[in-house]
Amino acid sequence: MKILIIEDEKSLSESIVSYLSKENYICETAFDFISAQQKISLFEYDCILLDIMLPDGNGLHLLAYLKKLGKMDGVIIISAKNSMEDRVLSLNSGADDYLSKPFHLAELSARILSLIRRTKFNGQHIISYKETVLDVDAKTLHVKGEIVILTKTEFELYLFLVTNKGKVISKEAIVEHISGDSALYLDNFDVIYAHIKNLKRKLADSGTHLKTVYGVGYKLEL
């Protein structure tokens, strides 16, 4: 799952990235309004952490821009402002949650997970498909009751496919989802081919049908 951290205080941003990376999130950062706006327009995120006070603009204007684009990325405001008026304004503007600074990183992580469960998985943390059961919280996969060891990337890839089952997912969308903005610098899709091959092998007894749509991408059959 991919997080965008829009925070101009670099030490705080680095601390958040360090903590969330250990929780197996893919983290990207933006330190100002312009770079944040570019990333929002180019990429999709499971959750955006948004500071209101940026050096070159108001974070709530980024929230309005996100809504104007029709994107459904979940947004948690992280702000030094702690007045009731700021909280109400942020939530009424479309934010999903509000966390005042300073905060504990464990609480931030819990709020992110709660938000993703609510927006992506209907509030559930267990997702069943065919003979597979994914635990979003524990980031584990069971096939016919037996645990199957997946790498972080394989788990993210399979979760992405399961939540989009029945749809053809392009190779570009997959590589952007699991690699973030570094996908812009890849010359080919070899990394995707390798992950798909490994995933198919590990899911051989699961009853799933991961179909290759040649020249386009992949589709997990309903």
For 49-94, what is each residue's pLDDT tens digit? Answer: 999 999 998 999 999 999 899 887 899 999 988 888 888 998 998 8
Give me the pLDDT at residue 182, please. 59
- CA 74/CA 77 separation, integer angstroms: 10
- SS3 per-residue string spanning 10-65: HHHHHHHHHHHHHCCCEEEEECCHHHHHHHHHHCCCCEEEECCEECCEEHHHHHHH
Q: What is the pTM of this model?
A: 0.78
| More confident call, 183 vs 97 | 97
Given pLDDT bands bounded at 50, 70 and 90, which one contains residue 186? low
- CA 208/CA 54 separation, integer angstroms: 46
Average pLDDT over residues 31-47: 92
| Four-point Cα dihedral 57, 27, 108, 138, nearest 10 | 160
Q: Percent of the chain scored above 70 by pLDDT?
A: 96
Per the structure block, which two tokens stand in for 33? 């309004």
CA 136 from chain centre, in angstroms, equals 12
For 84-108, what is each residue's pLDDT tens digit? Answer: 888 899 899 889 999 999 999 999 9
Average pLDDT over residues 192-202: 88
